[in-house]
A and B are shown apart, each in its own frame.
Chain A
Amino acid sequence: MSLFQGLYRITDMMGTAALRWEGGVGLEADVAQLRRGDLDALTTLVSRYQNRLYRFLLRLVRDRSEAEDLFQQTWIHVAEKIRRFDPSRNFDAWLFTVARNLAIDHLRRIRPASLDQPISEGESQETALDRLAAHDPAPLDRILENERANRVGTALDELPFAYREVMTLRFEEEMKIEEIAQVLGIPLSTVKSRLRRSLEQMRNNLETRYAGENWR
C-alpha cells in the first residue's frame, strides 16, 4: 500500500468514525424521544433510515412492491414495539433484525423455495479458489469497469438468501461483523465464512458469465 493510499484510508476511517459518532448521538435522542411517545421522532427515524432499510428489504425480497409493503410493516412494528427495545443495544441491529424477520416470514409464506436455496457451506475452499484461478487472469477489472453496478447488482441478487443478507449488511449497510452476527443471530465465525463464500460465489459467477467478453 502506498503512503498516499494509507493516508487516504486513515482519513476516510476517521471521517466515517466522526460521522457515526455524530449520527449516533442524534439517533439515541430520536430513539429516546420515540420511546417517550414523540411522533415527530418517528418521522425523523423513518427519514434517517428510509434508503438503507428499503435497499436492505429490496435486496432480500427482490421485488419492489413486496419491499414497499415490508418497509411499512417494519416501521409499524418499530412504532408498536419501541418500548421493548433496550436503549443500551444497537438500534441499527434491532431495526434490521425486525426487517429481516418480517422479510423471512413474508418469503416463507409467499416463496418458501427462495429461502431454501442451497448455499455452498460444504464446498471446500480449494475448489472455489481453484475454479477462480482457472479463469482468465484478470477478467474482473474489465467486467467491473463497464456497467459495473448493473452487473454486480444482478450478481448480488442472484446469490442465495443467506449470502445476500450477509453481503448487503457488510457492503451496503457497512455493518461490522459483530453487528451482522447480532442481526442474523449467528456466530462471528459463521458470518465470516458466509461472507467469504458469498464473495467467492459472486466472483465466480461474474467471471464465468462475462469471461471472454470485450468490455472496453
Chain B
Amino acid sequence: MSASRDLSVTEHSKIREMLALAAADALEPNESELVMQHVRTCPQCSAEMEQWQLLSRGLRQLPTPQPSAELVQRTCARAEARVIDEREHAWNRRVMISLVLFAWALTLTSWPIVRLVSGGLLSLLDPRLNQSWLGFAGFTSLVWLTGGIAAALLARHQRSERSLA
C-alpha cells in the first residue's frame, strides 16, 4: 500500500516537472501521453497544467513588432548592392587572371618575333644568353608597364563612374 503510494508520489513529482515542457509542446510523444494521462486523474497537476498553458498561450500570442517598410527597402537595396559589388569583384578577379595569362602568352610569343626582327632567332640559342635575357626582361617590363598603366587608368575611370552613379 505504502509502496504504491510512494510510487504514485514519485510519478506525481516527475510529471509535475514535465508540465511546463508539456505546455510548450516540447516533449516526446510518449512523454506527452504520460503527462496527459496523469493530468486527467490528478486535479493538482491539471490546475498546474492550466497555468502553464496560459503562460504558453500568452507567449504565442505576443504581438509581432514589424520593421518599417523603409527599413526593408533599405535592407534590400544594401544587400543587392553588396551582391552586385561581390559579383563585380569576382568578375574583376577573373578578368585580371585572364589578363595576366594573356599578357604572359603575348610576351612569350611576341619575344621571338621581336628578336627575329631585331637580331635573328638563332641568337635565342646562343649559349651566352645574358644579353638575350636582359633584352627579354626589358621587353617584358615595357609590356607590363604599359598594361599596368592601362589597367590603372581603366580602374580610375570605373571608380569615378561608380561614384557619379
A contact residues vs B (CB 8 Å cutoff): 1, 37, 39, 42-43, 46-47, 50-52, 54-55, 58, 68, 71-72, 75-76, 78-80, 125, 129, 137-138, 140-141, 144, 148-149, 152-153, 156, 167, 170-172, 174, 177, 191-192, 195-196, 199-200, 202-203, 206
Contact code string B36-69 (vs A, CB < 8 Å = 1, else 0): 1000000000010011101111111111111100
Contact code string B79-90 (vs A, CB < 8 Å = 1, else 0): 110111011000
Q: Chain B residues with Cβ under 8 A from A140's Cβ?
A: 51, 54-55
Known contacts A42-B79, A55-B64, A75-B79; A125 and B17 CB within 8 A of each other = yes
Pair A54/B65 contact, Cβ less than 8 Å: yes
B74 at the binding interface (Cβ < 8 Å): yes
Instruction: Output the least CB separation between B34 and chain A (Å).
Output: 14
In the assembled complex, the Cα of A196 lies from the Cα of B60 at a distance in Å of 16
In the assembled complex, the Cα of A140 lies from the Cα of B23 at a distance in Å of 14
- Number of cross-chain contacts by CB at 8 Å: 127
Q: A79-B80, A148-B61, A170-B26 are in contact. List 5 more A-B contacts (CB 8 A).
A: A58-B65, A144-B57, A149-B63, A199-B56, A203-B51
In the assembled complex, the Cα of A140 lies from the Cα of B47 at a distance in Å of 11
Pair A138/B67 contact, Cβ less than 8 Å: no
Pair B21/A195 contact, Cβ less than 8 Å: yes
Q: List 14 A-B residue pairs with CB atoms under 8 Å apart, sorted by A's residue number.
A: A47-B72, A50-B67, A54-B67, A68-B71, A75-B76, A75-B79, A125-B17, A171-B56, A171-B60, A196-B17, A199-B21, A199-B24, A199-B52, A203-B51
Which of B71-110 touch A at CB < 8 Å? 71-72, 74-76, 78-80, 82-84, 86-87
Pair A51/B66 contact, Cβ less than 8 Å: yes
In the assembled complex, the Cα of A79 lies from the Cα of B86 at a distance in Å of 9
Pair B47/A138 contact, Cβ less than 8 Å: yes
Pair A79/B21 contact, Cβ less than 8 Å: no
Which applies to chain B's interface (DSSP): helix, strand, loop or mixed? helix
Pair B55/A37 contact, Cβ less than 8 Å: no
Q: Chain B residues with Cβ under 8 A from A54's Cβ?
A: 65-67, 71
In the assembled complex, the Cα of A152 lies from the Cα of B59 at a distance in Å of 7
Cβ contact of A68, chosen from B60, B61, B67, cutoff 8 A: B67
Instruction: Output the least CB separation between B156 and chain A (Å).
Output: 26
In the assembled complex, the Cα of A92 lies from the Cα of B87 at a distance in Å of 25
| Residue of B23, B83, B86 ringed by the most chain A CB atoms within 10 A | B83
In the assembled complex, the Cα of A138 lies from the Cα of B52 at a distance in Å of 11
Cβ contact of B75, chosen from A46, A51, A58, A200, cutoff 8 A: A46
| Residue of B50, B71, B79 ringed by the most chain A CB atoms within 10 A | B79
In the assembled complex, the Cα of A80 lies from the Cα of B89 at a distance in Å of 12
Instruction: Output the least CB separation between B129 and chain A (Å).
Output: 48
Considering only CB atoms, which chain B residue lies closest to A74 in the complex? B75
Pair B83/A79 contact, Cβ less than 8 Å: yes
A-B pairs with the 3 shortest C-beta distances?
A: A171-B59, A54-B67, A79-B79
Instruction: Output the least CB separation between B113 and chain A (Å).
Output: 42
In the assembled complex, the Cα of A141 lies from the Cα of B36 at a distance in Å of 21
Pair B64/A172 contact, Cβ less than 8 Å: yes
Q: Chain A residues with Cβ under 8 A from B17's Cβ?
A: 125, 129, 196
Considering only CB atoms, which chain A residue lies closest to B68 in the complex? A68
Q: Chain B residues with Cβ under 8 A from A167's Cβ?
A: 59
Pair A144/B16 contact, Cβ less than 8 Å: no
In the assembled complex, the Cα of A52 lies from the Cα of B65 at a distance in Å of 9
Pair B87/A149 contact, Cβ less than 8 Å: no
In the assembled complex, the Cα of A152 lies from the Cα of B55 at a distance in Å of 8
